[in-house]
Amino acid sequence: MPEEMSKLEIRSALPKCARLDSKPHLFCPGCGHPEVLKALGFAVDELGLQRRIAFGVDIGCSLLAWDFFDFDTVETHHGRTVPVMVGLRLGNPEAIAVAYVGDGGAYAIGAGHLLNAAIRNDNILTIVVNNGLYAMTGGQEAPTTHPGWKVKTAPYGADQYYIKAPEIIRNVNPAAFVARGITSRQPELRQLMKDALQHINGNHGFAFLEVLSQCPLNWKTMDSAEATFRVLEQEHAKLFPTGRF
């Protein structure tokens, strides 16, 4: 966030539930995580849910969200945020439990947890930030890495298989809220956040929102916002269609 921005300007650009004393945030410039968090925060503001949110962040760049909001927040082991939030919600049925996880954590180590929470129809919202790789550890191949993408652990190009998680969750739980949004379409993303929160607030069970998000550092597009958004809109959104499932 530019140094010359006044506190008032920063405040008005952020959801009310966001903390001011933790800004500028810790993500890289141009990262998609803060855009996902802002969409969540504005949805929480609109629904008046701030004091009921229990926010769980995974290891990975998602953990940099630990002080983004003025929420009760817990940080857990890589891929374990979903079961931790399931347990927390069972212990406190008033809580609006939100798990905030990267695609590596959710779809590799945490895949079994995610799938079983969906099958049990646990009343939590899981938000998965899909940037197509393991970002915090330097850009290794994730279950979402595009076939042929040259990443740190696949220097000759990632293999042909990858996961489409919302499509799988739709299959195992026809009653769940399931959608995929993208950081570059904020009004749509904010609406998806609101609908997902309403779903768990109404005790309708599992809500799952994957968000396509940019990682300019590991996509090696740090010097060009245009290149970042080309990858996001023309490659990422092509492989992973957005919408409600």
Nearest to 215 by CA among 162, 136, 127, 156: 136
How many residues sit in the footprint of ligand TPP (CB under 6 A)? 18
Q: Is 103 one of the binding residues for ligand TPP (CB under 6 A)?
A: yes
d(CA 16, CA 71): 11
- 58 vs 122 by CB, closer to ligand SF4: 58
Site residues, ligand SF4 (CB under 6 A): 27-28, 31, 33, 61, 131, 135-136, 215-218
Show the binding pattern over residues 52-81: x = contacts ligand TPP (CB under 6 A), - = does not: -------xxxx--------------xx---
Q: Is 39 one of the binding residues for ligand TPP (CB under 6 A)?
A: no
Helix (H, G, I), strand (E, B) or coil at 127: strand
Nearest-approach distance from CB 240 to ligand SF4, in angstroms? 16
Residue 40: other Cβ atoms inside 10 A: 32
Token pair of 176 as six digits: 């769940």
d(CA 81, CA 185): 26
Residue 126 interface partner, choices ligand TPP, ligand SF4, none, CB cut-off 5-8 Å depending on type: none
d(CA 75, CA 58): 6
- 116 vs 137 by CB, closer to ligand TPP: 137
d(CA 218, CA 154): 13
d(CA 211, CA 112): 20
- 47 vs 109 by CB, closer to ligand TPP: 109
Nearest-approach distance from CB 183 to ligand SF4, in angstroms? 11
Binding site for ligand TPP (CB under 6 A): 59-62, 77-78, 102-105, 109, 129, 131, 134-137, 142
